[in-house]
Amino acid sequence: MTTLFTNVTAVTMDPILPQLKDAFVLVEGTKIVQVSSRRPLGDFDRIVDCTGRVMMPGLVNAHTHLPMTLMRGYGGGRDLQHWLNDCIFPAEARLDSRCVRAGTLLALAELIAGGVTCVADMYYFCPDIAQAVADSGLSANLSRSVTAFQPVDNPADYLSCREMGELVDTWNGYDDGRILVDVSIHAEYTSFAAPNLWEYLGRYAADHDLGMQVHISETQSEHLDCLARHGKTPLALLDQYGVWENGGLAAHCVWVSDEDMALMAQKHITAVHNPVSNLKLGSGIARLPQLLQSGVNVALGTDGAASNNSHDMFEEMKLASLLHKGVSLDPLAVTAAQALAMATVSGAVAMGRSSGRIVVGQDADLILVDFTRPNLTPCHDIRENLVYSAHGGDVVMNMSRGRIIYENGAFLTLDLEQIRAEVEGYALPRIFGE
Amino acid sequence: MTTLFTNVTAVTMDPILPQLKDAFVLVEGTKIVQVSSRRPLGDFDRIVDCTGRVMMPGLVNAHTHLPMTLMRGYGGGRDLQHWLNDCIFPAEARLDSRCVRAGTLLALAELIAGGVTCVADMYYFCPDIAQAVADSGLSANLSRSVTAFQPVDNPADYLSCREMGELVDTWNGYDDGRILVDVSIHAEYTSFAAPNLWEYLGRYAADHDLGMQVHISETQSEHLDCLARHGKTPLALLDQYGVWENGGLAAHCVWVSDEDMALMAQKHITAVHNPVSNLKLGSGIARLPQLLQSGVNVALGTDGAASNNSHDMFEEMKLASLLHKGVSLDPLAVTAAQALAMATVSGAVAMGRSSGRIVVGQDADLILVDFTRPNLTPCHDIRENLVYSAHGGDVVMNMSRGRIIYENGAFLTLDLEQIRAEVEGYALPRIFGE
C-alpha cells in the first residue's frame, strides 16, 4: 500500500527541516519513504491532496488509563478522597472484561478523532485493552499496574506479576511492535508494603528490555509521606531498588525535587506532564520550565478521562505552554515549539518508538489538521496555530503506521455506534446501575 | 416565527428548575415563551428534535477585541513589550474599515460556531464592527475604546469621544436592543494624562444609561504604576472620577486588591475573567475564588484572538474551573456550576441582557451541544460534561434571539468562504504584506 500526500504544509519535528511547504510525502507500507519538493515518480494506491490542511506527526499521549473513560464526569464536585473512595473504587470493583473492552474502545475513538497515534496506558484487564488497541490500528505501550498493600513473599507468584508476564508473552511486539508491553509499578504509596516487588519488576524490565511506567510525586502528600517513611523521594527510592535501569515514564512529577530532576536527566527517565488532570484533582502545577532546563525529557499525557475529563492532546499542549507563562509571569516560559515536541517526538522516544517526526524511515504516524476553519484563520505561524488555536475536533485525518484509520469524521477501524451501544447497554448498567 | 424544541435535556441556569429532561421549549419571535414537560398545543414553523443533544443558554463572551482575530498567532514567541511594539501596534496602524469588517466577521464566525450568542467588544472602527454584528445575528455590547497620551482640553471635542457619541446615536438599541453601545476607557495607564476624560465618560455613561468597559489591573506593573502615580488602584482611582456609577465590566482584574473586590461588589462592577489570555501574556492568575467569595459578579471572556489565540468559551470555562483548583490545591475551588454561570447568566446580567437563562420571557439565546460524540460519552452529569469535556466544535446549533444562525456546521447569516477570501485577499496583504 502506498499513499502520496501532495501540497503538504507540515511541522516535521525534524531539526534539519522543521517545516515543509508545497511538499510531497510518500508512505509505503508502515513507513515514510520519501519527503521531497518534487513529485515522486510512479503510481500510488492513494493520493491525498493536503491543500488547506497542515500535516504534523501523530500526537503521543504518554499517560492515561483508557477504560476509566467510563467514569468521565462521574462523582464530580467531591474532594479527592471522597471521589476515589465513594465513586471511583466502587465503580472499578464492578468492572469486567466486557466493560473494559467497551470503555477502551470508546477512549480509542476519542483519541483517534483527536489526532493521537500512540498511547501509553496503565491499568488492569490488560488483555482486553490490548485486543481493543489491536483492533483500532493505534500504537500503544500497555502496562499492568502493580500494587501491594501487604507484604509479598514471592513476587514471581504474585497475581498481578503473573498477569504482567502473560501480557508480555502474548502481546509484547504484536504487529511488528505496534503494541509494546511496559512494566508498571502503580506508585510508591500503593506498594511500599512490598519493596521486593520493586526489585523484581525493575529486574524484569531490564532483563526483558521493557519500558517502565510509574506514578511519581503526583500529590504533595504522596511525596512528603514517602520522604517521611523512607527519607527519600519516590523517584530516588525506586532508583535504589533498580526500577529505572531501562529508563521509564514517570507520570505527573508535580512535586519532584531538584535532585529528582537531575536523576531523571541522568537515567533517561521521562517526566510525563499531565497539566489538566493535575489542576482538576488539585494536585498542583508541575515545575515544567525547571524540568526542561534540567535536561529532563518531558512528554505529555491526558491521564484518565475520569480526572480530565477529555483525551484532547491539543488542549494539553495549549495548557502546558500557557500555564507556566502565567505562573512565572513570563510569556516566554514554555514555547509553542516546546509544547509540540512534548506532544510528539519526546513521547515517542520515551516509548521506544520510531515515530513522532516526519522523516524518511520513520513510522508513518501522521495527522492532518483543517486550517480552513475560522478558528485557524489566518495562519501567521503554523506552530502557534497548532498549539494555541487548534482543537482535537480540527483533525480531519489520522494515519497510524501507514494506515488511514480516521478521515473526515469517519472511523475506519471502529464502529462508534456499536461502541456506544455496548457502553450504554452493558457497561454503564453493570457499573453504575444506570 | 415559532420553533418548538422537543425531547429537551437542558441546563437552564434557573435556580428554580436547574435542569430539564424530556421537556419542550417553545420559542416565539425572539423570546422563550414556554418551558414544559407537556407538548404545547398548536402548529409550529419549525420542530427541532433534541435527542442526543444538550441545550444550554448561549455563551456570553464578556471581553474581546473582535478585529484582532486578524493577528491570531502573529508575533508569537516574543515578550509582551516587543510583541506589542514590534508586531501588534504596527499592524493596527495599517488597519482600515475593510480590514476591520473582515476581521470582525471572521471572529463572529468563530464565536457563532463555538456557541456564543452575546459578546462585549472594545476597539475602534466601531461602525464597521457594528455593521458586521448586525449582519451576523449575534447580540453585542460595542464600545469605542478611549485613550489619551496627552492632556485633553475639551473631552466632548476629543475625536474618540465624538466617535463614541456617533456610535451611540447610530447603533445603541439597534434591532430592539440586540446591539448596545457601552462607554469605554481603555485603561488608566493609557489615559492618565487626561483624567478629565474619565469624569466626562463616567457622566456620559450615567446620563445615557450605558455600560462601561475598562481594562483593570491586567498586569502587575500596570497596577503598581498606578498606585505609585496616584496612591490608588486603577479601580479605586476611576471610582473617584465617577466612572462606575452605572456599574461596568472590569476586564482582567488579575491584580485587584481585597479593597477593590469590596468596591466591585458594592458598585455592581463585574470582573471579566480571561484566564487563557492572562496566562498567555504572562500577566498572572486572577484570584477568582476570592472574587466569588467577595460577592463580585464574575463573567468570562476570551480577550482578543491575538492573545488567546482562540475564541472558545468552552475552553475558558474549563480553565476557569481548573486553574484555581491547581493553584490552591483544592479540587473544589471553582465548581462546574460556577463556571457555567460565569459563561452565561453572569455575563448576560452584566451586559444588561435578558438572556443567559432558559426561562420563559427571556431572549431565546440557546445552543445545542452534540452529546453523542465520543468525548461526551458517557454522560454521568450534564454540567461536568459541558464544562470539562465539551469543546466549541461540539456545538451543533446556535439560536440567537429566536433565529437559528448556525446549524450542523452551516452558517446561516455569514458566508465563510467570502469572509476567508476577504481576509486573505485584502486584509492580510494590506496589514502584513502577506
The DSSP string of B159-222 is HHHHHHHHHHHHHTTHHHHTEEEEEEEEEGGGTTT-HHHHHHHHHHHHHHT--EEEEES-SHHH
pLDDT of residue B434: 62
Chain-wide mean pLDDT for chain B?
97
> What is the structure's pLDDT at A246?
92
Indicate whether this complex's ipTM tops 0.85.
Answer: yes
Q: Which residues of A touch B113 (CB under 8 A)?
A: 374-375
> For B428, which residue in chain A has the nearest alpha carbon?
A378
Indicate the residue type of A232: K
Judge contact between A364 and A337, C-beta under 8 A.
Answer: no
User: Is there a single domain that holds both residue B212 and residue B84?
Assistant: yes
Residues A381 and A260 in one domain: no
Q: CATH number of the domain that B293 lies in?
A: 3.20.20.140
pLDDT 10s digits, A130-185? 999 999 999 999 999 999 999 999 999 999 999 999 999 999 999 999 999 999 99
Residues A33 and A107 in one domain: no
Examine the domain organization and report whether B125 and B226 are in the same domain. yes
Beta pairing class for B366-370 and B395-400? antiparallel
Q: Are residues B152 and B279 in the same domain?
A: yes
Q: Are strands A19-28 and A31-36 parallel, antiparallel or unpaired?
A: antiparallel
Handedness of CA A429, A431, A434, B4 (dihedral sign): negative
A57-70 tens-digit pLDDT = 999 999 999 999 99
The answer for residues whose C-beta is within 8 angstroms of residue B231's C-beta and 6 or more apart is: none
Q: Are residues A176 and A235 in the same domain?
A: yes
The model's confidence at residue A239, banded by pLDDT at 50, 70 and 90, is very high
Minimal C-alpha gap between B114 and chain A (Å): 9
Cβ atoms of B141 and B351 within 8 Å: the answer is yes
CB A256 within 8 A of CB A227: no
Backbone angles phi, psi at A225, to 5 degrees: -60, -40
Which residues are CB-contacts of A147 (< 8 A; sequence separation ≥ 6)?
A160, A186, A187, A190, A191
CB contact under 8 A, A416 and B113: no
Residue B331 and residue A385: Cβ atoms within 8 Å? no
Closest CB from B106, B282, B377 relative to A330: B282
Cβ-Cβ contacts under 8 Å, A109 against chain B: 374
> Same structural domain for residues A200 and A87?
yes
Contact A331 B285 (CB under 8 A): no
Contact yes or no for A80 and B285 at CB 8 A: no
Rounded to whole angstroms, how far apart are CA atoms B333 and B331?
6
Does any domain span residue A382? Answer: yes
Task: Name every chain B residue with its beta carbon within 8 A of the beta carbon of A110.
Answer: 374-375
> Same domain for A25 and A97?
no
CA distance A24 to A338: 26
| Closest among A50, A22, A55 to A38, alpha carbons compared | A22
Closest CB to B384 among A70, A309, A391? A309
- Taking alpha carbons only, the member of A127, A161, A241, A144 closest to residue A195 is A241
Q: Grade residue A360 by pLDDT with cuts at 50, 70 and 90.
A: very high
What pLDDT score does A434 carry?
Answer: 62
The per-residue pLDDT for range B282-340, each reduced to its tens digit, is 999 999 999 999 999 999 999 999 999 999 999 999 999 999 999 999 999 999 999 99
Tell me the C-alpha distance between A217 and A234, whole Å: 7
Q: Does the model's pTM come out above 0.80?
A: yes
Give B201→chain A minimum CA distance, Å.
32
Residue type, A118: C
Q: Are strands A139-146 and A179-187 parallel, antiparallel or unpaired?
A: parallel
Give how far the C-alpha of residue B66 lies from the chain's centroid of Cα atoms, to the nearest Å: 10
Domain membership flag for residue A28 = yes
Search chain A and give the residue with CA nearest B335: A77
Check residue A63 and give its pLDDT: 98
Q: How far is CA A374 from CA A56, B131, B161, in A?
A: 20, 19, 33
Average pLDDT, integer, range A188-199: 98
Residue A269 lies in a domain: yes
Residue A206 resides in a domain: yes
- The residue-averaged pLDDT of B7-19 equals 97
- Selecting from A77, A328, A389 the residue whose C-beta is nearest the C-beta of B309 gives A389
| B309–A73 CB contact, under 8 Å | no
The predicted model gives A20-26 an average pLDDT of 98
Distance from CA of A205 to the nearest CA of B (A): 34
Q: Tell if the CB–CB gap between B424 and A332 is shorter than 8 Å.
A: no
Query: For an interface test with B, which of A309, A323, A396 has the most B Cβ atoms less than 10 Å from its Cβ?
Result: A309
Same domain, B343 and B392: no
Angle at A14 between CA A10 and CA A17, to 5 degrees: 70
Question: For the residues B160-172, what does the mean pLDDT come to?
Answer: 98
Instruction: Say which DSSP state B242 is in.
Output: T
pLDDT at A80 > cutoff 90 = no
Q: Are B346 and B356 in contact (CB under 8 A)?
A: yes
Q: Does residue A321 fall inside a structural domain?
A: yes
- Does residue A417 lie within any of the structural domains? no
User: How high is the pLDDT of residue B182?
Assistant: 98
Mean pLDDT confidence for A359-382 = 97
CB B333 within 8 A of CB B325: yes
B210 and B284 in a single domain? The answer is: yes
How many angstroms away from the CA of B65 is the closest CA of chain A? Answer: 15
pLDDT of amino acid A79: 83
The answer as to whether A182 is a domain residue is yes
Chain A residues inside the 8 Å CB shell of B410: none
Mean pLDDT of the region B250-260: 98
Q: Which residues contact B69 (CB under 8 A, 6 or more apart)?
A: B103, B104, B106, B107, B110, B304, B305, B306, B311
Q: Which phi-psi region, left, alpha or beta, contains residue A47 (left: φ > 0; alpha: ψ -120 to 50)?
A: beta
Q: What share of chain B is helix, strand, coil (3-state, %, to 5)?
A: 45, 25, 35
Grid cell for residue B276: 487563557
Contact between A238 and A272 (Cβ < 8 Å): no
Spell out which residues of chain B touch residue A432, defining contact as CB-CB under 8 Å: 380
DSSP 3-state of A414:
coil
Would you call B336 and A76 a contact, using CB atoms and an 8 Å cutoff? yes
Contact check, Cβ <8 Å, A312/B70 = no
Residue among B64, B82, B279, B332 with most chain A CBs within 10 A, to mutate: B279
Q: What is the 3-state secondary structure (H, E, C) of B14-74?
A: CCCCCEEEEEEEEEECCEEEEEECCCCCCCCCEEEECCCEEEEECEEEEEECHHHHHHCCC
**In a shared domain, residues A381 and A239:** no
- A108 and A198 together in one domain: yes
DSSP letter (8 states) at residue B424: I
pLDDT (mean) for A402-415: 98
Range of the domain at B253: 59-350
Residue A426 lies in a domain: no
Report CB contact under 8 Å: A312, B75.
no
Cite the DSSP H helix spans in B231-355.
234-240, 258-267, 275-280, 288-293, 313-328, 336-343, 345-350
Give the CATH number for residue A40: 2.30.40.10
Q: Indicate the number of domains in chain B.
A: 2
Summarised one tens digit per residue, pLDDT across range A274-284 is: 999 999 999 99
Residue of B nearest to A281 (CA): B331
Task: Give the chain A residue nearest B82 (alpha carbons).
Answer: A331
Rg (CA), chain B: 21
Pairing of strands A410-411, A403-407: antiparallel
Q: B279: which chain A residues are within 8 Å (Cβ-Cβ)?
A: 322-323, 325-326
